[in-house]
Amino acid sequence: MAFARKEPAISPASRPALLGLELGRKVEAMLGPGAFSLSGKMLMVLSLILVDGLAAQIAFHLGAEIYGAFVKEGTTGFSPHLSVMALSLPIGYVLLDVYRVQGQAPVERFPLRIKATCVVFILLIGWHYASQRLLWSLGAAALTFPLAIVLPLVGEAIVRTILIRRGRWGVPAVVIGAGPTGQRVVRVLQQMPELGLRPVGFFDDHPLDTASPAAVGSLPVLGSIADSASYSRRIETAIVTTPAEADETVDAVAMQLGYRDIIVVPDLRDLPTLWVRTRDLNGLIGLQMRRNLLLRRNRLLKQTIDHLVALPLLLVATPIVAVLALWVMAVSHGSPFYVQLRAGKQGRPIGVWKLRTMYPDAEARLEQYLSGNPDARQEWDRFCKLSNDPRVLPGVGHFLRRTSLDELPQILNVVRGEMSLVGPRPFPKYHLDRFDRSFQSLRSSVIPGITGLWQVSARSDGDLEVQQALDTYYIRNWSIWIDFYILSRTLGAVLAGRGAR
């Protein structure tokens, strides 16, 4: 892509793209200015405000009903004071920019929501005492605060899922540059609609020099870079890709385009992307990033949290595991537990404990099934899993896999320090050998986990490429907030049984 060229020759091959540009202009003219960006954004924000306000009302009213908190003795019925307190939560979210949903992943909003809730609660405690001369009871605070965190998070997930399915989540964005970087951007945004950006087309001065945009979600090249300026009155966001051979600076292109929000995507690969900070180096832009899992204090923090959670969880899980083990024994003879050697940190083998979900002769059954089913062989080669697995025990096997309760014994691995609650899953050797050496080395640099980003994002629906991308993202962008986010989503993914096989 060369930014300097403004008037490419119109070839027969480029006419469909220009017709698409003209059609898009007519549609926009009928809908009116701002129809593409404002309505979608307002719908998302208003939906979240409504859900958060309702969640806060439930949290505060439960505290008032159960503990008689927040209101003076003898007060009954509707309390304007209580409603004002509940509405302060979404108002605080607005002021603290929690509702900046376009271009921001849920994992980024997760810590922002928690921090904003803490700030709002601190202010409410002071305001409530000043106006009511009444301190919150410890029980009321212990009930209301967790509900005020969990309920809005659940509400956001529900709203986001509904709007994504209806095609109403996200704001439209144009992509400047139809080269490899631009195509990669479109793939990511189409695969992750929760990022809140919906690409509508490419603009490029050399569309014929690039690969066909049909390979990227069938998005057309709508015209030259100069043509895209007319879209800036109706679409707020432009994503500018910057190959090294560009003839003009990004700032010059930005001034030329006239979009309110411009996201620059440099052609940088294999770098951390979350929690990266920009630094002004006397007119130069620097990207400051930190390898969090290389810091000793972060590793100690992660291990401490693992043990603080795993020890009481082991006590709770033990009777559940005992009942499930009896169920396995009733269906299939042999030990109800299965220990498989898998690669731990630095490639050291660890024995990973599981409740047995397969027949004792599982490997022979698998080989016989694959040899007679070519389609199943292709599925196995792509996912290392099967949708109809002949090895799985009837009833109990499918139940344990769907709910992931077969992983409960691995809490013992966490207590022994061989695994973490959150991390890349420890794969069997046959699975791990399908990845390249560099990715295997990256995975071995961290302790494997019971649950991870792949489990809550794709589960068994993700092929080897998806698994590698999500595990790489987690390792390079780790923070304690990502672990909390993954743990918060694990329960929902397990209860839904989404993608589990």
Is it the case that residue 34 has pLDDT exceeding 50?
no
Ranges 72-76, 111-115, 161-165, 328-332: which has the least confidence:
72-76
- Helix (H) or strand (E) segment spanning residue 125: helix 106-132
Residue 44's SS3 state is helix
> CB within 8 A of 306, min separation 6: which ones?
414, 420, 421
Query: With contact defined as beta carbons under 8 Å apart, do 253 and 240 qualify?
Result: yes
Is it the case that residue 144 has pLDDT exceeding 70?
yes
Is it the case that residue 35 has pLDDT exceeding 50?
no
pLDDT band at 314 (very low <50, low <70, confident <90, very high): very high
pLDDT band at 414 (very low <50, low <70, confident <90, very high): very high
Domains delineated in the chain: 12-19+172-269 (3.40.50.720), 38-165 (no CATH), 296-357+392-496 (no CATH)
Which one is predicted more confidently, 68 or 22?
Answer: 68
Which one is predicted more confidently, 429 or 463?
Answer: 429
Cα–Cα dist 441/130, whole Å: 58
CA 9, 10, 13, 19 torsion-angle sign: positive
Cα–Cα dist 227/176, whole Å: 11
Cβ neighbour number for residue 427 with a 10 Å cutoff: 20
pLDDT at 39: 62
The closest of 152, 25, 35, 139 to 98, measured between CA atoms, is 152
Residue 69's SS3 state is coil
Ranges 66-80, 336-350, 399-413, 440-454: which has the least confidence:
66-80
User: What is the average per-residue pLDDT within 387-398?
Assistant: 88
Q: Where are the extended beta strands (E) located within 282-379?
A: 284-288, 337-343, 349-355
Cα–Cα dist 411/414, whole Å: 5
